[in-house]
Amino acid sequence: MIYNTDDPVILSEDKRAVIAVDQTRLPAEFVHIRLETAEEIFEAVKRLRVRGAPCIGIGAAYGLAVCGLNISESCKSKEDFLNRLKATADYLCSCRPTAVNLSWALNRVYSAAEKNRLLEISQITDILFDEAVKIHREDISTCKKISELGLTLVKSGDGILTHCNAGALATSRYGTGLGPLLLGAEQGVKFHCYVDETRPLLQGARLTAWELSKAGQDVTLICDNMSSLCMKQGKINACFTGCDRVARNGDTANKIGTSAVAILAKHYGIPFYVFCPTSTIDLSCKSGEDIIIEERESDEIKSLFFSRPVAPENIKCYNPAFDVTPAELITAIVTEKGIFYPPYDFENKL
């Protein structure tokens, strides 16, 4: 079992809960929450207490194992156990539609149970936990490899524009899009990090700025609409983002505003790099046109994180959480299996 309080999600020692950093309370408070039921896990992911595509996958995997243990103590038969486990997996999968790691991890854990359906229920529940731990361990290794590869794309002193939060809070240990910057800090490689605030929930301002400054990197916070000027002024040498789903043609879904950064980078001739584990690549998704875009509550624009509302109470809001960046705007996609350049065509490359 993995116990490291630096990880955003872990399994409790009694196997009865997922222990998670409540990311909505950062940077003011670093608080762990205990999630014991499917409803609590659903709410934590939906409200972005647990967030970041790989982190969501790890948390959901542990969560399904915890729920499986609970189900095993009240089920009437093995068939009842598997049916209720599948219903729980489907329920958890419905909380956020865009990030593929959620469904990938839940399917992987449930499939492990299904493949071993001839065993005793107690043995199957052990397998659920074993599979969730494997997912967590694999992500730790994956993030380290992605970070090492990413460092080869830049040099000390470069100005790096980040979008969203793709560090250790969103994954395990190093992260994806922030991984090279966090690993670089460990190795004495310094960057000028320009962190845009990133909607929804100001994840760049609250989380990325906190992580990078804590690691010792030079951090400058900017609003989302300032990146063009920073690029024009020569402050930016490369753009780093994570992503929540990659279509097989290389189109990527990431936090809202990512495509705007990519368009600007293309205009100014600045490399735009996407970092993700291969589990984020969805070969069943032909292109970005097939990716469902999550929409969120209007209060996240009008009042959340402000001491008083900043918009008229009854004003209509459009609050998509993601947009899709076309493959032709992406310089390279960095995974644990290597750096991929266009044309991507992942169906034939993986």
What are the sequence ranges of the domains in the chain?
9-144, 148-349
Instruction: Give the pLDDT of residue 292.
Output: 93
Instruction: Give the pLDDT of residue 110.
Output: 98
pLDDT digits (tens, 9 = 90+) for 114-143: 999 999 999 999 999 999 999 999 999 999
Residues in contact with 142: Cβ distance below 8 Å, sequence separation at least 6, in sequence order: 54, 277, 279, 336
Which amino acid, one-letter code, is at 264?
Answer: L
Residues in contact with 256: Cβ distance below 8 Å, sequence separation at least 6, in sequence order: 199, 200, 320, 321, 322, 323
Instruction: Give the pLDDT of residue 99.
Output: 79
Q: Point out which residues pair with 272 in neighbouring strands.
A: 239
Which amino acid, one-letter code, is at 98?
Answer: T
Instruction: Give the pLDDT of residue 229.
Output: 98
DSSP assigned state of 320: B
Neighbours of 244 (CB within 10 A): 30
Per-residue pLDDT of the chain (350 residues; tens, 9 = 90+): 565 667 899 999 999 999 999 999 999 999 999 999 999 999 999 999 999 999 999 999 999 999 999 999 999 999 999 999 999 999 999 999 887 899 999 999 999 999 999 999 999 999 999 999 999 999 999 999 999 999 999 999 999 999 999 999 999 889 999 999 999 999 999 999 999 999 988 999 999 999 999 999 999 999 999 999 999 999 999 999 999 999 999 999 999 999 999 999 999 999 999 999 999 999 999 999 999 999 999 999 999 888 899 999 999 999 999 999 999 999 999 999 999 999 998 988 87
Contact status, residue 150 vs residue 338, Cβ threshold 8 Å:
no
Which amino acid, one-letter code, is at 67?
Answer: C
Instruction: Give the pLDDT of residue 5.
Output: 61
Angle, helix 38-46 to helix 78-93, in steps of 10 degrees: 20
What is the architecture, at CATH level 2, of domain 9-144?
Up-down Bundle (1.20)
pLDDT digits (tens, 9 = 90+) for 169-188: 999 889 999 999 999 999 99
pLDDT digits (tens, 9 = 90+) for 240-249: 999 999 999 9
Q: Which of 244, 251, 282, 323 is catalytic?
A: 244
Per DSSP (E only), the strands in the chain are 9-11, 18-21, 32-35, 159-163, 192-196, 218-222, 238-241, 245-247, 252-255, 272-275, 281-282, 322-325, 332-335, 338-340
Residue with tokens 């024009």: 232
The rounded distance, in Å, linking the Cα atoms of 71 and 94 is 20
Instruction: Give the pLDDT of residue 3.
Output: 58
Residue 344, helix vs strand vs coil: coil
Phi then psi for residue 254, to 5 deg, are: -145, 180
Question: How far does CA 131 lie from the centroid of its chain?
Answer: 19
Instruction: Give the pLDDT of residue 348.
Output: 85
Both tokens assigned to 109 = 């854990």
* pTM (whole model) above 0.75: yes
Instruction: Give the pLDDT of residue 315.
Output: 96
Annotated catalytic residue 244 = yes
Q: What angle (nearest 5°) sits at the alpha carbon of residue 45, between those of residues 211 and 10? A: 65
CATH of domain 148-349: 3.40.50.10470
Instruction: Give the pLDDT of residue 347.
Output: 86
Nearest to 207 by CA among 217, 216, 195: 195
